[in-house]
Chain A
Amino acid sequence: QKEVEQNSGPLSVPEGAIASLNCTYSDRGSQSFFWYRQYSGKSPELIMSIYSNGDKEDGRFTAQLNKASQYVSLLIRDSQPSDSATYLCAVGGNNDMRFGAGTRLTVKP
């Protein structure tokens, strides 16, 4: 069983819609979760970190965490073509960080 699982996609949404990206993790003791955005040919860029159950909002991005269900998600409101990228979910560990395989998002004009 993979430690961090994401639907590889591709996920396609129209411009202006809400994009919902999901991630599950296997280690029930995990406490820290991160979302990265990676444009094709570029390096991952940290978007959000979340440590507590519930929602955390930053501009058009909302991260949601449910530790009981071992589930973390990222919502992108008012999606723009510039949001088209691969989104990596990561779970923090001491000394390292475990990444999911990433979900490719395409926002169509």
Chain B
Amino acid sequence: GAGVSQSPRYKVTKRGQDVALRCDPISGHVSLYWYRQALGQGPEFLTYFNYEAQQDKSGLPNDRFSAERPEGSISTLTIQRTEQRDSAMYRCASSSDTFETQYFGPGTRLLVL
């Protein structure tokens, strides 16, 4: 079956612009996670949803970052007033339940100029 998909795959934006990154989890997966991966590093946790409820947003770096999953399926990670330090690979993962294996999407590479 289809895996986790993310769009766009690449996003180039100018400093100060808002961006929205989309994640489409594996069908039926109730848990969804966002991670950020800097070059040469492993993914770092940002936020977690169980169905439509955002259970944990402790990894979001500041209030310019927000995420939603209004219908418990597709999720959007929004970064407002982007800064150059926001440039990274943003990865989404989903799992069938909270403690099950997380399956990752291909990521969105964000470049802020």
Chain A bound to chain B: no
